[in-house]
Structure 1
Amino acid sequence: MPSEKESTSSHISISDDAEAHDNSKSGETPRSSRGWDGKLRVEKKLELANPEALSDPEYSDEEQVLPGEEIDADEDLLDDYPSDTEEIDCVHSRVSSIPSLRLDRFKAVTRLCLRQNTITEIEGLSCVAATLQDLDLYDNLIAHIRGLESLTQLTNLDLSFNKIKHIKKIDHLVHLTDLYFVQNKIQTIENLDGLTRLRNLELAANRIREIQNLEHLTALEELWLGKNKITHLKGLDTLQNLKILSIQSNRIRTISGLDNLPNLEELYISHNALTSLKGLENVHSLRVLDISNNQVESVQGVKHMQNLEELWASYNQIADWHEVEGELRPLTKLNTVYFEGNPLQLKAPGSYRNKVRLMLPQLLQIDATFVRVS
């Protein structure tokens, strides 16, 4: 998620927890600075308002939705906000009706955060349409995308952790650069053709089986598809600007469809069913490769990746020391490797780490431990 810009205007945060905004990594792969799959991260010190969305796959069924506590119009959460405020935060504040917030009082709002409430309908936002750029409705009870017709200035839209089954009625939001649909019930990637400025698309933890309908998103730099039901890598050829592809926890058996991505720098494909790295022969720009938790037996096929800095290969079937040295020693930029859980480590746990260090002297980190520089 883009970092929040400092504002010179007044800004007051309303939340049941003073530390509600502290984002933290979940500990899942990939261990990037963005956490698991970008937006798919939950604050450690603030529970989800609707935790059933994580534990029960059928939570989105209408009959299981409990009515929330609606805030009456005279119970004014926004009393302390000056009329010229640019940012409004109502996190975990039991809001179920956007119109009850009477947003028409605010003429300069650029960011509206209504995370972790019980909102079911997107409504009452036309009054701030002229200025609103960032709308965050993460963790609510929204089942249908509507009410965004007038919000043509939006650059950031977060509808993660809701009940959405279909992507629609956002194609007109042509200024969007960041779009989040993490943890919904979406089965098909669709109706995104008009979003030609989109740089970041997050669709992790849905029910998607096929990568499709992305041809027009030529500005896309990050695509997060982890924890779906995807079986093949395809439909990516036009994404010439793609830098990050995250597709872990799917059903992929072979790597394919990456030959025409000249700018791809990070590939997260852990927790799949890979047995080899065949298919990466023409991928030259990778800095980070995560193949953890597969059935890969060999690292053959990475020697040409002269920009590779991190190789995450834990819990595979890699056993050949000679081959590992031959493939990785020429990679002078390589500074981090993870081989724990492989035969390399399991057969000789006592000498494993020292052997890796001597074999690959360029390393700064082996598994979770930094290499001591003598």
Structure 2
Amino acid sequence: MGRGGAKRVDEQPPTTSSWVEQQLLTTTQHLHSFTQTLKFLLLNDSKSRKKLDNMPSEKETTPPLHISISGSDAEGHETPKTPRSSSGWDGKLRVEKKLELANPEALSDPEYSDDENVIPGETIDADEDLLDDYPLDTQEIDLVHARVSSIPSLRLERFQKVARLCLRQNSIAEIESLSSLSSTLTDLDLYDNLIAHIRNLDSLINLTNLDLSFNKIKHIKHISHLTNLTDLYFVQNKIGTIEGLDGLTKLRNLELAANRIREIKGLETLVGLEELWLGKNKIVEISGVDALKNLKILSIQSNRIREISGLDQLPQLEELYISHNALTTFSGLSSNTSLRVLDVSNNRITSLKGIEHLKELEELWASYNKIMDFNEVGEVLGDKKGLTTVYFEGNGLQLRAPALYRNKVRLALPQVIQIDATFVRVS
């Protein structure tokens, strides 16, 4: 470069060929330096001298490089090409593409689940050691989040008086080796494990409480003989149909929330049922509950219901949770005069009319609807002497005058002690 930044005529820009050759030369020098250093280290290690004899020589490790850089096009002009070694390799690794079905058994097994083959996390090799501190006459075993991977490894046959077995939050994939507890076990808790199929419960006829929530279960099977069950939990599984419950006439509480249920059915024999929890499913209509004469609590929030129906035969119903649906009115509650708690939050209801006859009402949760007329608050709810809690937040009657909202509710409903999430200050 000359003075003033002018380029000299004899300074030619480097070609692609010379630049690549320079880079390859530098790499070769670095490799040679590394080889010499490695030899030095091995010579100072008596245990590695034998390895040195088997090392390839410098000539073998750094073969001469012959690079082809440029070529000519059809008109004879020089064109850049991909660098290649003397053997013709361009430095690109090519792998043959193959498509292989990882789970061919899924084509023939309708109950197949990929989750069954999930490798569990870290486990303890000797699970039985977890019970060393338990006396042999213990009535309760509680191993929550203890990394238990296998029930047989616990050697439960040592314990002859166990009434409650809690194995929550472990890595158990199979229900097994419980027959030794058949005469005493009444409460079995396998919440949050890796169970895909209900099996090996034949001998546990004294069970009153069974919790299989947060597992991988698709079908309710092999429990109809457990006629002493009063509480049954299948929350957060993959159940699509309510089935296999025939004979459970003593069942008091059934929880099937967070599954894949589209229709309420299969409950005809559950004449003693008092609580039914079906939230977070895909139900579009309330039906199939006519036989549940003793039902007191029905939870069916977060579904796809557009109207309240099918409750005419449930005069004992005390609590109805039907929030997060698509309701537009309160119609359909004419026979449910025993209702104490009504939750219709997050729907599309425009008026409070339709609940005038609910004289026993204690709590009304109606947040985030489209109720606009404040006059209805006093007209519809003013005579409910037992009413203690109301939620109207997110409705037009609150959003139009948020500063005056609470005082107006207090004046309209002096019996109320809680408005939304805040208790009314006693003067």
TM-score, with normalisation over the residues of structure 2?
0.72
4+ residue stretches of structure 1 with deviation over 6 A? Answer: none
SS of aligned partner of 2:406: helix
Q: Is contact 2:256-2:277 (8 Å) kept?
A: yes
Partner of 2:265: 212
**Distance apart, 1:372 and its partner CA:** 1.4
Matched, 1:296 2:349: yes
Quote the Cα distance in structure 2 between the aligned partners of 1:147 and 1:113.
Answer: 17
Distance 1:63-1:133 versus aligned 2 partners, 3 A rule? closer
Q: Is contact 1:218-1:241 (8 Å) kept?
A: yes
Partner of 2:134: 81
Letter in 2 for 1:371: V
Quote the Cα distance in structure 1 between the aligned partners of 2:155 and 2:121.
Answer: 19
Partner of 2:195: 142
Q: Is contact 2:289-2:310 (8 Å) kept?
A: yes
Q: Is contact 1:71-1:100 (8 Å) kept?
A: no
Letter in 1 for 2:299: S
**Distance apart, 1:75 and its partner CA:** 5.1
Deviates more, 1:233-242 or 1:322-331: 322-331
Letter in 1 for 2:288: G
Matched, 1:104 2:128: no
Letter in 2 for 1:221: E
Quote the Cα distance in structure 1 between the aligned partners of 2:327 and 2:192.
Answer: 33
1:284 maps to which of 318, 324, 337:
337
Deviates more, 1:284-293 or 1:71-80: 71-80
Q: Is contact 2:115-2:216 (8 Å) kept?
A: no
RMSD after superposition: 1.1
Distance 1:253-1:202 versus aligned 2 partners, 3 A rule? same
SS of aligned partner of 1:281: coil
5+ long unaligned stretches in structure 2: 1-112
SS of aligned partner of 1:91: coil
Matched, 1:125 2:125: no
Quote the Cα distance in structure 2 between the aligned partners of 1:306 and 1:208.
Answer: 33
**Distance apart, 1:70 and its partner CA:** 4.3
Quote the Cα distance in structure 2 between the aligned partners of 1:155 and 1:252.
Answer: 32
Letter in 1 for 2:284: T
Q: Is contact 1:296-1:317 (8 Å) kept?
A: yes
Partner of 1:174: 227
Q: Is contact 1:68-1:96 (8 Å) kept?
A: no
Q: Is contact 1:318-1:343 (8 Å) kept?
A: yes
Matched, 1:313 2:356: no
**Distance apart, 1:108 and its partner CA:** 0.3
2:148 maps to which of 91, 95, 98:
95
Partner of 1:33: none
Quote the Cα distance in structure 2 between the aligned partners of 1:63 and 1:307.
Answer: 49
Q: Is contact 1:152-1:174 (8 Å) kept?
A: yes
Distance 1:170-1:73 versus aligned 2 partners, 3 A rule? same
**Distance apart, 1:161 and its partner CA:** 0.2
Quote the Cα distance in structure 2 between the aligned partners of 1:75 and 1:241.
Answer: 44
Partner of 1:48: none
SS of aligned partner of 1:311: strand
Quote the Cα distance in structure 2 between the aligned partners of 1:153 and 1:283.
Answer: 35
Matched, 1:153 2:221: no
Partner of 1:195: 248
**Distance apart, 1:325 and its partner CA:** 1.4
| Larger helix proportion of the pair | 2
Quote the Cα distance in structure 1 between the aligned partners of 2:420 and 2:351.
Answer: 18
Deviates more, 1:322-331 or 1:115-124: 322-331
Quote the Cα distance in structure 2 between the aligned partners of 1:214 and 1:237.
Answer: 9
SS of aligned partner of 1:77: helix
**Distance apart, 1:72 and its partner CA:** 3.6
Whose RCO is larger (CA < 8 A, sep 6+)?
A: 1
Letter in 2 for 1:87: E
Q: Is contact 1:96-1:117 (8 Å) kept?
A: yes
Give aligned-pair identity as a percent.
Answer: 73
Partner of 1:3: none
Quote the Cα distance in structure 2 between the aligned partners of 1:136 and 1:323.
Answer: 47
Partner of 2:218: 165
Equivalent residue runs for 1:45-84 within 5 Å: 61-62=114-115, 65-73=118-126, 76-84=129-137
Q: Is contact 2:128-2:155 (8 Å) kept?
A: no
Partner of 1:335: 388
Partner of 1:31: none
SS of aligned partner of 1:88: strand
2:376 maps to which of 296, 319, 323:
323
Quote the Cα distance in structure 2 between the aligned partners of 1:132 and 1:219.
Answer: 22
Distance 1:275-1:366 versus aligned 2 partners, 3 A rule? same
Equivalent residue runs for 1:342-353 within 5 Å: 342-353=395-406
**Distance apart, 1:63 and its partner CA:** 7.0
* Structure exhibiting the larger radius of gyration computed from Cα positions: 2
Matched, 1:241 2:291: no
TM-score, with normalisation over the residues of structure 1?
0.83
Q: Is contact 1:69-1:96 (8 Å) kept?
A: no
Quote the Cα distance in structure 1 between the aligned partners of 2:127 and 2:254.
Answer: 38
5+ long unaligned stretches in structure 1: 1-59
Quote the Cα distance in structure 2 between the aligned partners of 1:200 and 1:74.
Answer: 33
- Superimposed CA distance per residue, residues 112-134 of structure 1 (whole angstroms, 9 cap, x where no aligned partner): 00000000000010011110000
Q: Is contact 2:116-2:173 (8 Å) kept?
A: no
Q: Is contact 1:309-1:334 (8 Å) kept?
A: yes
- Superimposed CA distance per residue, residues 323-371 of structure 1 (whole angstroms, 9 cap, x where no aligned partner): 2211100111111000000001101000001001001111011001111
Letter in 2 for 1:170: I
Q: Is contact 2:173-2:194 (8 Å) kept?
A: yes
**Distance apart, 1:249 and its partner CA:** 0.2
